[in-house]
Structure 1
Amino acid sequence: MDLKALLQRFDGRSRFLVHALHSGAAGAKNAQTVFNKQRRSDPDFTLIPFLETLCQQEACVSEDALVLKPLVCLFSEGFKQNLLCFLHLIHPGLPKDRVHHLLECLTQDDVENQWACVLIKQLQRDIEGTRKETLLTLNCTGKLKSLCERFRNADAKGRWAACFEGLESEGKESNVTVLSQKKRKSDYMDHDGDVQEDHQSKRVKMDFWPCDEEEKLTEEEEPKMRTSQLEQSAASVSQAHSDVLGSLKNLPEHMKAAVPVIKELLDTESTWDESSVSALKVFHECDPNEVEILCSMLGLSEASEQSLPQFCSCLLELSPDLSHSTACAVITHLLLEKILSLAEPASRCLVTAVMSLCTRYPRPTCQALIEPVLQKGQTGSAQAELLCRLVVDCLEPHHRLLVFQTILGVSWDEGVLSVIHALLDSKLELSEEDFSLFTNQLCSQSPHFSKSMKFAKMLLSVLTKYQSHVNPACHHTLSSCLSFNETFLKKSLQAALKRISL
């Protein structure tokens, strides 16, 4: 079962926790941040619904048989490990029976991850208040004692270096052994084989080694090339530096002071706190020109994806919300280039950042992110997957309608078809004019997608879910559209069209 299906089992607040726990190695810390913010906004907030949902029985296929498993067992190993670390951090404030029940559900599954097994045992001991026995095996305890003995003398030379020197000497001894074994093997080889091997090695060296003329030419050109590269690099750096200085002059002093503070937080990926949120309040005081300069100075487009969730969570803590123009500028600088350049599925950090901003600022996201991606005409599978998630999980019906109207004016490809299908499945409330424009677009695009299964499935959704929208003119247009279809769904499409009563 994929994450999208699993998320449907949780309420809105719990979904944020699930997304945070899916954000890689920092999942537990991100979940704790989300949980703390939810508690600050609602002191009565509790994790009991979240824990109960994780323990619910879910039907799944295991070894060609339909079985019932706790929902938590259907998540990835990384999610389970982050969940256990998260519970370890906050368990004192949780009901013990709920946490015990969840741990029992986890132990029902075959836990192959040794870290997860240890975390389960440790969490059980923490809840019960028993820490008398160690979790270490005898072998592990012996190794740790040996290591402590080695580093006990603080004045000993090297300490850690001495340890690695010992490992190095062991490696050298093993290399000497391997070389002696190879030498003994070579003694058994016949003389002809040695001569042939020698000729081959010489031939390889001759083919690989450059001739004298090429070598001289390289030696002469290399200093010139290095000089030109250094000059170009210096010129670009100088130009960039002058642009930065020129832009900074146009900012008020308090905005200039905020730039290095925010930039350091972005570059070092350090923990953001209340002072970080106060530094971001500078966005409230920017006019459209200043916010563009500020985003450029901060280098938001070059910010690492690992720093995005914390930056976005701090933005979301600002009160009041950002203005429409400021939100558009921030989303454009922060996310657009990253999404346009996706060649593989978006990372968890990027997905978390995009979905959090889209949930709070849906209209700016539609205008500054979704529309430009669609208008580029290069909607690959990675971009389409992300846009579909935004459509299904973050946008309200009226915002989905905005995206749909944008799609009517752009060129279509397989990625755009996926987004259209997601929009149609969300049961859009289309006006007669919008549906008429859509059917005309379907007819004009049908020759280009005559063999596309995505296009055929999209047509089937139109004919089954939007029958009430089909008037005689649209019926004729759809009939013309089906004439171009060459997939095995053509008969099903024609039958669906016939069932529509006018």
Structure 2
Amino acid sequence: MDLKAVLQRFDGRSRLLVHALHSGAAGASNAQTIFNKQRRSDPDFTLIPFLETLCQQEACVSEDALVVKPLVCLFSEGFKRNLLCFLHLIHPGLPKDRVLHLLECLTQDDMENQWACALIKQLQRDIEGTRKGTILTSNCTGKLKSLCERFRNADAEGRWAACFEELEAEGKETNVPSQKKRKSDNMDPDGDAQEDHQSKRVKMDFWPCDEEERLTEEEEPKMRTSQLEQSDASVSQARSDVLGSLKNLPDHMKAAVPVIKELLDTESAWDESSVSALKVLHECDPNEVEVLCSMLGLSESSEQSLPQFCSCLLELSPDLSHSTACAVITHLLLAKILALTEPASRCLVTAVMSLCTRYPRPTCQALIEPVLQKGQTGSAQAELLCRLVVDCLEPHHRLLVFRTILGVSWDEGVLSVIHALLDSKLELSEEDFSLFTNQLCSQSPHFSKSMKFAKMLLSVLTKYQSHVNPACHHTLSSCLSFNETFLKKSLQAALKRISL
């Protein structure tokens, strides 16, 4: 396909989107950025001409025959995949009939990429608001049925229970002693009884045996006290086992621990050999990463050592996996941020921002979300989170943080983070904005005299007018009725200016 010739079918703005969707794996994100800029410069900008052009019939040669296909079918598989991802991001603001017509055009082509087929089906389900049928292919469905049959048979090789044998062995260390006794008493040394034992395990764990039922009222409190004391001892033993599991690590991982620990403790200069020592993180599975982080004492490391340590982490190539990055960020930073009672030090801020810039999604998952969910968002935590939102996170990561906030309890610190998110001009779907206004209404009685809450409402009414539908207008009106600040008249005037 001659891209230059095809581009002549599009107007100037649409050509920018076509180029963006051709830009490799980041095509969908690039197209969304361009689309947002176009809409900011022209609020009346619409993608209807772009969608209509993609659906135009175009003559082409297929298997030595001249056929007519929708223009979108002539593009590469990468372009189609990026286009579908782009539509998933922005479709709530587009005419449903135009998007569905484009999807029908795409289905006329024999798409080899199964992910693209699944994206088409999922987008159709989202637009039509239905969950009928499945997005799985017949081949995938068959494989899933085969797996289910294997897992159903406990005696089959590769059975489902085998996946949890190691976890069960670890779990026994923290079980209440009376439960351990019952399990050991019911263990059948004969291998043929294993399946029967597994099927009854849940019942044995939750239902008392005859001996326990015969406990008198005087014995029961003593039994519960003894169980609690022994359970605490088991938890302490389990922690010791985790720290002592260094001996189970491969030799090269053991050798890296004292090298890294010495550099952390002495705060000496990090060099190329220090980066080489950290490369061991690439070879760790999730359990080994936890052991290494515990042995290194990352949560107790000094803040002065953080910038150098993070610099070495950022020099690693390739980047850390998602799970490894989450574990390192949790151990290294979470406790320090939760413990803040005054503004974060320069060293801590530098470390957090550097890791957030390189690993934004792990930072959202392992740091920002836990801080918000623990309900400990004081002024120091809020100030740091606001800096991350403004300076480090991309729009889609800010949206993740926003959705997390909708599910946590609010305080003055959380209000500051919300205000920072709103000032960043979030691309909210109709559903997100509706949930947000409902949350505003439920929280408004608790913040009737809060200036932060009032300023946040004013930001909503001035910067997100296009999102306000009749239902949201009514909800916001109810919300303003609780406000007791001097901004109430300004809020009411801003609400009246919104035309429905």
| Cα distance change on mapping 1:51 and 1:307 into 2, 3 Å | farther
1:284-307 deviation digits (Å, cap 9, x = unpaired): 000111101110010000000000
Deviations 1:176-205 (A, max 9, x none): 99xx99999999999999999999999999
User: How far off its partner does 1:257 sit?
Assistant: 0.7
Cα distance in 1 for partners of 2:241, 2:182 equals 68
Counterparts in 2 of 1:438 and 1:124: CA distance versus 1, 3 Å: closer
- 8 Å CA contact retained: 1:451, 1:487: yes
Q: Identify the range of structure 1 (38-47 vs 402-411) with the bigger mean alpha-carbon deviation.
A: 38-47
Structure 1 residue runs without a partner (length 5+)? none
CA distance change for structure 1 residues 96 and 374 in 2, over 3 Å: closer, same or farther? closer
Distance (whole Å) between structure 1 residues aligned to residue 287 and residue 486 of structure 2: 55
Cα distance in 2 for residues equivalent to 1:265 and 1:464: 52
Instruction: Measure the CA separation in 2 of the matches of 1:371 and 1:59.
Output: 52
Render the CA deviation track for 1:381-428: whole Å, top value 9, x for unaligned.
000000000000000000000000000000000000000000000000
How many Å separate the matches in 2 of 1:286 and 1:195? 36
Check conservation: 1:316, 1:360, Cα contact below 8 A. Answer: yes
* Secondary structure of 1:248 counterpart: helix
Identity of aligned residues (%): 94
CA separation in 1, counterparts of 2:252 and 2:195? 73
Instruction: Confirm or deny: 8 A CA contact 2:54 2:71 kept in the other structure.
Output: yes
Residue aligned with 1:59, SS: strand
- Aligned CA distance change for structure 1 residues 100 and 183 (closer, same or farther; 3 Å): same
* Per-residue CA distance 1:215-261 (angstroms, 9 max, x = gap): 99999999999999999999999979954662112211110110000
Please, which moves more after superposition, 91-100 or 313-322?
A: 91-100
Quick check: 1:391–1:423 contact (8 Å CA) kept in 2?
A: yes
Residues 10 and 406 of structure 1: CA distance in aligned 2, closer, same or farther (over 3 Å):
farther
| Aligned-pair CA distance for 1:213 | 53
C-alpha distance 340-6 of structure 1, shift in aligned 2 (>3 A): farther
CA contact (8 A) 2:307 2:351 kept: yes
Offset at residue 328 of structure 1 (A): 0.2
Q: 1:293 to 1:188 in 2, by over 3 A?
A: closer
Aligned to 1:249: 247
Show the 5 A alignment for 1:231-380: 243=241, 246-380=244-378
Q: 1:123 to 1:368 in 2, by over 3 A?
A: closer
Looking at structure 1, the residues matched to 135 and 258 of structure 2 have their Cα atoms a distance apart, in angstroms, of 46
How many angstroms apart in 2 are the aligned matches of 1:61 and 1:451? 69
Q: Is the contact between residue 244 and residue 297 of structure 1 (CA under 8 Å) also seen in structure 2?
A: no
Kept in 1: contact 2:188–2:197 (CA 8 A): no
The structure with more radius of gyration:
1
Q: Distance in 2 between matches of 1:433 and 1:130?
A: 16
Change (3 A) 1:435 1:258: same
- Structure 1 pair 238–84 and aligned structure 2 pair: CA distance change class (3 A): same
Alpha-carbon contact 2:257-2:295 (below 8 Å) kept: yes
TM-score where L is the length of structure 2: 0.54
> 2:449·2:483 contact (CA, 8 Å) conserved in 1?
yes
Q: Tell me if structure 2 keeps the 8 A contact 1:424–1:461.
A: yes
Bigger shift: 79-88 or 26-35?
79-88
Measured at CA, do residues 176 and 456 of structure 1 come closer, stay the same or move farther in structure 2, by a change above 3 Å? Answer: closer
Please say which of residues 88-97 and 248-257 is displaced more in the overlay.
Answer: 88-97
* CA shift in 2, pair 1:77/1:312, >3 Å: farther
1:143 equivalent in alignment to 2:140:
no
> Could you tell me which residue of structure 1 aligns to residue 197 of structure 2?
199
With over 3 angstroms needed to count, the CA separation of the structure-2 counterparts of 1:338 and 1:442, relative to structure 1, is: same
2: CA distance, partners of 1:242 / 1:173: 11
How far does residue 353 in structure 1 lie from its aligned partner after superposition? 0.1
Bigger Cα displacement from structure 2, 141-150 vs 478-487:
141-150
Secondary structure at the counterpart of residue 219 of structure 1: coil
Secondary structure of 2:454 counterpart = helix
Q: Deviation per CA, 1:72-127, whole angstroms, max 9, x where unpaired? A: 99999999999999999999999999999999999999999999999999999999
Cα offset, 1:441, TM superposition? 0.2
Q: CA deviation at 1:151?
A: 83
Alpha carbons 2:267, 2:304 under 8 Å: kept: yes
- Conservation of the 8 A alpha-carbon contact between 1:23 and 1:349: no
Q: Which stretch shifts more, 152-161 or 219-228?
A: 152-161
Q: Is the 8 A contact 2:175 2:234 kept in 1?
A: no
Q: Once superposed, which parts of structure 1, at least 4 consecutive aligned residues long, lie more than 6 Å away?
A: 1-177, 180-241
Q: CA deviation at 1:442?
A: 0.1
- Matched residues in 2 for 1:191 and 1:295: separation? 39
Shift in CA distance, 354/435, structure 1 to aligned 2, threshold 3 Å:
same
What SS is found at the alignment partner of 1:68? Answer: strand
Paired residues in the alignment total 500
Moved more, 390-399 or 158-167: 158-167
On the 8 A contact 1:20/1:352 being kept in 2, the answer is no
1:341-380 CA-partner distances (Å, limit 9, x unpaired): 0000000000000000000000000000000000001100
| Contact 2:173 2:234 (8 Å CA) reproduced | no
Q: Contact 1:19 / 1:352 at 8 angstroms: preserved in 2?
A: no
d(CA) in 2 for partners of 1:204 and 1:222?
Answer: 23
Distance in 1, matches of 2:34 and 2:496, equals 52
RMSD of Structure 2 on Structure 1 (CA): 29.6
CA separation of 1:478 and 1:152: change in aligned 2, threshold 3 A? closer
Q: Provide the C-alpha distance between the structure 2 equivalents of 1:2 and 1:345, rounded to a whole number of angstroms.
A: 57
- Once residues 190 and 285 of structure 1 are traced to their aligned partners in structure 2, the CA distance between those partners, rounded to angstroms, is 39
Q: Cα–Cα, structure 1 residues 231 and 408, in superposed 2: closer, same or farther, change >3 Å? A: closer
Check 1:274–1:419 CA distance in 2 against 1; reply closer, same or farther (3 A cut).
same
